[in-house]
Amino acid sequence: MQQAFHWLREALLLPLDPGSTVIAMSSGAALHGSPLSGGYAGAKAMVRFLAGYAAGESARSELGIRIVSILPTLTPETDLGAMAVAAYARGKESRWRSNCAGWDRCCVPRTPASTSRRSRSALTTRPARTC
């Protein structure tokens, strides 16, 4: 969270050239929660909020800097994601299992390659919705 704050602050203070894009990496946990990982979801939600605040400041100051946050979801395609998906699948609370099961209706499951493609497209397009 501190890294995102300083990164966004410096982008606005320099400022970057008009037309520049700043990407803040957050996590799908910012929207869906992450009950097995303590404060992770809250920290990632704050990254999302900071990006929104910075985007508002860029607009108010007419800097022309586009600021977006990307919120990739868990994927079993990575070692970390595979462990997390397995841990949630073993979870005792059916409420969390049903939330995890519902994620595929909201978002297409991500792979490292698809997340990279979506990140690159954020540099040139204005996504209507991110997950």
- Residue 34 belongs to some domain of the structure: yes
From the list 19, 77, 21, 27, the residue with the least C-alpha distance to 48 is 27
- Residue 117 belongs to some domain of the structure: yes
User: In terms of pLDDT, which residue wins out, 23 or 78?
Assistant: 23
- Residue 98 belongs to some domain of the structure: no
- What is the domain count for the chain? 1
- Residue 129 belongs to some domain of the structure: no
Range(s) of the domain holding residue 117: 2-74+109-122
Query: What are the tokens at 115?
Result: 């997340």
111 Cβ contact list (under 8 Å, min separation 6):
75, 77
| Confidence band, pLDDT 50/70/90 cuts, at residue 109 | low
Span 66-78, average pLDDT: 85
- Residue 19 belongs to some domain of the structure: yes
- Residue 131 belongs to some domain of the structure: no
Span 66-95, average pLDDT: 78
- Residue 8 belongs to some domain of the structure: yes
- What does the pLDDT look like over 20-37, one tens digit per residue? 999 999 988 898 888 888
Q: What are phi and psi of 68, to 5 degrees?
A: -130, 155
The single-letter code of the amino acid at 3 is Q
- What does the pLDDT look like over 11-21, one tens digit per residue? 999 989 999 99
In contact, 69 and 24? CB cutoff 8 Å? yes
